[in-house]
Structure 1
Amino acid sequence: MSSSRETESRGSDSQESASRESEVFPFNGSSYRGPDPRYAGWRAQEPVKRVRTAGGVDAWLVTRYEDVRAAQADPRLSRALACGPGAPRIGGTMYTTPDMIISMDSPEHSRLRKLVAGAFTARRVERMRPRVQSVLDELLDDIEAKGSPADLVPQLALPFPLTVIGELLGVPPEDLRKFEVWARSFATVDDRAGGEASLEGLAKLSEYIVGLIADKRAEPADDMLSELIAARDQDDRLSEAELVTFGFTLIGAGFDTTANQLANSVLALIAHHRDQWEWLVEEPARVPSAVDEILRHVNLFATDTSGFPRIAAQDMEIGGVEIAAGDAVLLSLASANRDGTVFEDPDRLDLGRLHNPHLSFGHGIHHCLGKHLGRMEMEIALTGLVRRLPDLRLAVDEGELPWHVGEINHTLTSLPVTWGR
């Protein structure tokens, strides 16, 4: 028979083990509705926190707005070191390669970014508005023609941004469905399979882009990929590997984040913030100014970070905490967006919020290249929904909604909705 002291000791060990397990990043308490409730306490008491990651690596988790924003712009925190040979596998993060723009530090990053930055300026994106609106209208026409109920993921959230980015880059419409499947595989972060799904998606995307590049070399078109090929062939500013990688990176990033953000946002509005949905229905012109609050409040990243760890290139300090060279650092955008020192009543969705310097598009050299396009797509889609389907509501209980587990984003695979009587 065990003594009471032995039992007490085992109980203490068990509690410590459970505590350590509960601290493994990413945390189970987070969802599309917001980060784990514990983040609020960490921001106040331990804003730079040591955590054990799902990959078995210790890392520093940065949770406070001021620290996250500063760290995103700090060149001493390297993305390249986090993606190079021998880099620690953090776990819960998407597989990336050293030649992807999201894996680079300056000056390599700046060289590549300049090649496409002009295509994503606010002015050029605004010129795309009529075509983007047309794509949305066609999809809503089809939804209304088929009638209630509908599934907003395959009928709207996925095809809308996929069609837009496909046309921008010059991907034939008949190939877009294949890109969707491969990009979703590439975004998988399930480390239990050794990253096999992500690597397989990466290989398929690369193989396809090689063939598409060959076609566009033979017959150039008025699209971004043709422009990138010209930069490679005429000015030698891109290596062949960079050209291939840039192609599938832009396509994957150009639709997956918007598709997930749109689906999650509609779910949040019609299921949990009905008063805010009705506020938009009363005056659809409010949607553009409301989008930033939706982006701040509705948590896109399943890991609560941008999904991409950084490695300290030298000894440094973040939020008064000493970070050693070689340490992994995770920046929680979801937590920063709920920081009460920046956002009044931060856990409340307030579509009329005026001061909203959220970090959902990032900050520093890696801030989202397509933020103007993504914001415009959100505006057009939500405006169309509140105008044409004002009484939109879930067709099933929320607990029945299927989520794709193991992606960098909170990803709904189906969103059945109904409207009318």
Structure 2
Amino acid sequence: MTSELAFSSAEVIGDPYPHFAAARARAGVQWHDRTGMWLAFGYAEANAVLRSRTLGRIWTPRWPDVPMPGFELIHRNSMLENEPPAHTRLRRLVAGAFARGHVERLRPRVAALADRLADGLAEAGRDGRAVDLIAGFAEPLPVQVIAELLGVPEADRALLRPWSNAIVKMYEYQVSDAQRNAAETAAREFVAYLRELVAQRRRRPEPDLISSLFAETDSAGARLDEDELVTTCTLLLNAGHEASVNVVGNGVLALFGHPEQWQRLLEAEAAGRSLVDTGVEELIRFDSPLQLFERTAIADTRIGEVTVRTGEKVAALLGSANRDPAVFDDPDRLDVGRTDNPHLGFGAGIHFCLGAPLARVELQTSLRTLLRRFPGLRPAVVDLTGLRRAEFVIRGVSSLPVHLS
């Protein structure tokens, strides 16, 4: 069966979920002529795509005739773009560095940063003025957290978000020459910056993740080389903060559309039986920040009712999987108290998001701070549909004007 899903259409970008539901009803896996790959719409099929050991992340330049050495460097050496044994070695070393307590070290700092940003919002929103929740809160918090995690000096932190913004635009299926050039420039600049920061930490280690990463060795005495270390840092920024920004933006937008769920969160906080943890997982499920994860068959692989032949690509449509009624009761209903929630928002299998614990700390802190500081939060515009970024793979909002009370 062939899918006609148009990733770039305004209708699909605005609300892909009815399109996913219609496709899932026809078949769990369908061929997509526009991208030349299979699409897995069902939960079981998407989960199989993520977990199958005969489907791999195989990095190849998207435009082989266009030199993009900076962009290629941060993907060739990434654990996300490698399979065992390279992936196993990279993930073991990075996980070992993470295990040194960096997430727990940051927990109180995340709370302090969220409160400081909330102070700024409150000041900007005095006298009922509208403020942008994305620019004033959702964007700066994860960038500040990743910067602290890596040990990026405060004076340099404003560089990070523009670099990441330019790089992640390359994961869409329609990319202009200008976007491609901007991504390569950003990748080169970020790599050069990180090389200098790594050199500084080699001379004088600090209690940050970069220092832990170059000090980490596995049982065989292996270490990350400099290209791998730099690539890991770019992955942490791009994957880490993009997801957090978009869960907050998508999540608040969803809560505006379901005000009874915002009220439910408020009442639970007041009663001392918080629903923040389940609420965050539900917001990730309900409107997934990453919609598509692509893999390539290294051997013929059965997914659902089709066989993905060696060399063919197949993509797990995470947003579709997370609304599959075969797994989720009443999947199109936002339920912040949902407990049976095995969503695929952080992936699955060997590429399950290594930064998920930190992302959860950021997201839980963000939601709890908004509930506590701005219980009367409400949209400042009538038409919320026009706030969407014009991108399919990484789903988010460009801005979110709000009144704080």
TM-score normalised over the length of structure 2: 0.87
Secondary structure, in 3 states, of the residue corresponding to 1:291?
helix
- CA displacement, residues 358-387 of structure 1 (integer Å, 9 cap, x when unaligned): 110100011111111111211111111112
Partners of 1:317 and 1:343 in 2: how far apart?
Answer: 24
* Structure-1 residue corresponding to 2:292: 305
- Paired letter, 1:381: S
Using the TM superposition, give the Cα deviation of residue 101 of structure 1 relative to its aligned residue in structure 2, in angstroms: 1.5
1:192 to 161, 165, 176: 176
- CA displacement, residues 168-187 of structure 1 (integer Å, 9 cap, x when unaligned): 11111111111110011001
1:84 to 60, 63, 67: 60
Contact residue 4 and residue 32 of structure 2 kept, 8 A: no
Secondary structure, in 3 states, of the residue corresponding to 1:411?
coil
Correspondence 1:238-387 to 2 at 5 A: 238-270=224-256, 272-284=257-269, 285-301=274-290, 304-306=291-293, 309-387=294-372
- Paired letter, 1:370: G
Contact residue 139 and residue 160 of structure 1 kept, 8 A: yes
Partners of 1:44 and 1:370 in 2: how far apart?
Answer: 33
Partners of 1:140 and 1:364 in 2: how far apart?
Answer: 36
Distance 1:141 1:393, change over 3 A: same
Distance 1:119 1:279, change over 3 A: farther
Partners of 1:122 and 1:377 in 2: how far apart?
Answer: 19
- Paired letter, 2:215: A
Distance 1:42 1:363, change over 3 A: same
* Structure-1 residue corresponding to 2:141: 160
Partners of 1:43 and 1:27 in 2: how far apart?
Answer: 19
Correspondence 1:83-162 to 2 at 5 A: 83-84=59-60, 97-118=75-96, 120=98, 125-146=103-124, 147=126, 148-162=129-143
Distance 1:23 1:245, change over 3 A: same
Using the TM superposition, give the Cα deviation of residue 142 of structure 1 relative to its aligned residue in structure 2, in angstroms: 2.1
Q: From the CA coordinates, give the structure whose radius of gyration is larger.
A: 1
1:52 to 30, 33, 41: 33
Distance 1:154 1:171, change over 3 A: same
Are 1:64 and 2:48 an aligned pair? no
Partners of 1:21 and 1:293 in 2: how far apart?
Answer: 28
Using the TM superposition, give the Cα deviation of residue 281 of structure 1 relative to its aligned residue in structure 2, in angstroms: 1.4
- Paired letter, 2:175: D
Distance 1:199 1:76, change over 3 A: same
Distance 1:287 1:175, change over 3 A: same
Contact residue 167 and residue 186 of structure 2 kept, 8 A: yes
- Aligned pairs, how many? 385
1:237 to 184, 202, 223: 223
Using the TM superposition, give the Cα deviation of residue 75 of structure 1 relative to its aligned residue in structure 2, in angstroms: 1.4
Distance 1:405 1:174, change over 3 A: farther
Secondary structure, in 3 states, of the residue corresponding to 1:283?
helix
- Paired letter, 2:109: R
Partners of 2:396 and 2:186 in 1: how far apart?
Answer: 17
- Paired letter, 1:43: R
Q: Structure 2 unaligned runs (5+)?
A: 66-70
- Paired letter, 1:247: C
Using the TM superposition, give the Cα deviation of residue 236 of structure 1 relative to its aligned residue in structure 2, in angstroms: 5.0
Distance 1:124 1:225, change over 3 A: closer
Secondary structure, in 3 states, of the residue corresponding to 1:417?
strand
Q: Structure 1 unaligned runs (5+)?
A: 1-19
- CA displacement, residues 197-239 of structure 1 (integer Å, 9 cap, x when unaligned): 322221221111111112212221111101222248x955222
Secondary structure, in 3 states, of the residue corresponding to 1:329?
strand
- Paired letter, 2:280: V
Are 1:30 and 2:12 an aligned pair? yes
TM-score normalised over the length of structure 1: 0.84
* Structure-2 residue corresponding to 1:203: 188
Distance 1:359 1:417, change over 3 A: same
Contact residue 48 and residue 318 of structure 1 kept, 8 A: yes
Partners of 1:218 and 1:188 in 2: how far apart?
Answer: 35
Contact residue 333 and residue 359 of structure 1 kept, 8 A: yes
Using the TM superposition, give the Cα deviation of residue 278 of structure 1 relative to its aligned residue in structure 2, in angstroms: 1.1
Are 1:393 and 2:382 an aligned pair? no
Using the TM superposition, give the Cα deviation of residue 127 of structure 1 relative to its aligned residue in structure 2, in angstroms: 4.6
Partners of 1:131 and 1:137 in 2: how far apart?
Answer: 10
Using the TM superposition, give the Cα deviation of residue 398 of structure 1 relative to its aligned residue in structure 2, in angstroms: 3.0
